Amino acid sequence: MCWEGFGQTWEEETTTVTLSRYGALVECQHPVKCKDILLLERSDTHKQARGEVVWLRQKWPGRQQIGIKLLNCENFWELDWSAVQHEHV
C-alpha cells in the first residue's frame, strides 16, 4: 500500500485482516486519516486499485487498523462472491 500527498510519500507492506467485496480491513503503521486515498497492490498478482480510508482505529502505539473502500475496481480480490452465504439472524 502507498500514499502520496503534500510532498510526502510512503509505501508499506500491510497485513490484511478481512476482505470484503467492496474493500478490506488492514493493519498499517503509517498514520492515515479518513478520506485519504491510498494505492493498494496485491503481493500475489501485483494488481493495483485505489481505495479510500473510511474507518480507522488505533490498535496499539504505532499500529492501526484501517477500513478501506475500493474505488472504481471490479473484484479486486478475484473471489467468487456468489459462493459467500449470508446468515440472517
5-43 pLDDT, tens digit per residue, is: 667 788 889 989 999 989 999 999 988 899 999 999 999
Topology of 2-76 in CATH?
Answer: Thrombin, subunit H (2.40.10)
Give the list of residues 6+ apart from residue 24 with CB closer than 8 angstroms, or none. 16, 17, 18, 40, 51, 67, 68, 70, 77
Which stretches of 6-47 are assigned E, i.e. beta strand? Answer: 8-11, 15-20, 23-28, 37-41
What is residue 85's predicted lDDT score, i.e. its pLDDT?
A: 62
Q: What is the pTM of this model?
A: 0.80
